[in-house]
A and B are shown apart, each in its own frame.
Chain A
Amino acid sequence: MADAALDSAQVHVAHHFDDAEQQRQASTLGMWVFLAQEVMFFGGLFTLYVVYRTLHPEGFAHASHHLDVRLGATNTAVLITSSLTMALGVWASQMDRRRLLLVCIAVTALLGAVFLGIKSYEYWHKFHEHLVPGPNFVWDGPEAHTAEIFFSLYFALTGLHALHMVIGLGIMAWLFWMAWSGRVGSAYHAPVEISGLYWHFVDIVWIFLFPLLYLIGRH
Chain B
Amino acid sequence: MSAEHVVPVRLYLLIFAALIVLTAITTVVAFVDLGAMNVVVMLLIAFTKATLVVLYFMHVRFTSRLTQLAAASGFAWLAILIGLTLSDVLTRQIVP
Instruction: Please give the residue numbers on chain A whose beta carbons come within 8 Å of chain B beta carbons, in ascending order.
Output: 19, 21-22, 24-25, 28-29, 32-33, 35-40, 43-44, 46-47, 50-51, 54-55, 69, 73, 76-77, 80-81, 83-84, 86-88, 90-91, 94-95, 193, 196-197, 200-201, 203-204, 207-208, 210-212, 215-216, 218-219
Contact = CB atoms under 8 A, between A and B. Distances in A.
B1 interface: yes
A211 B45 contact: yes
Interface string B49-67: 1100110111100011011
A83 B89 contact: no
Contacts of A36: 70-71, 73-74, 77
Contacts of A43: 77-78, 81-82
Given A21-B4, A207-B46, A215-B27, A40 B82 contact: no
B86 A50 contact: yes
Top 6 A-B residue pairs of the complex, sorted by shortest distance between their CB atoms: A36-B74, A39-B74, A215-B30, A219-B33, A32-B70, A43-B78
Contact of B16 (A80, A204, A211): A80
A208 B46 contact: yes
A40 B19 contact: no
Interface of B is mostly: helix
Chain B, interface residues (CB within 8 Å), range:
35 or more
27 contacts: A24-B4, A25-B1, A36-B70, A36-B74, A39-B77, A40-B78, A46-B78, A46-B82, A47-B85, A54-B89, A73-B27, A84-B12, A84-B13, A87-B12, A90-B7, A90-B59, A94-B4, A95-B6, A204-B53, A207-B46, A207-B50, A211-B30, A211-B43, A211-B45, A215-B26, A219-B32, A219-B38
Interface of B: 1, 3-4, 6-7, 9, 12-13, 15-16, 19-20, 23, 26-27, 30-34, 38-39, 42-43, 45-46, 49-50, 53-54, 56-59, 63-64, 66-67, 70-71, 73-75, 77-78, 81-82, 85-86, 89-90
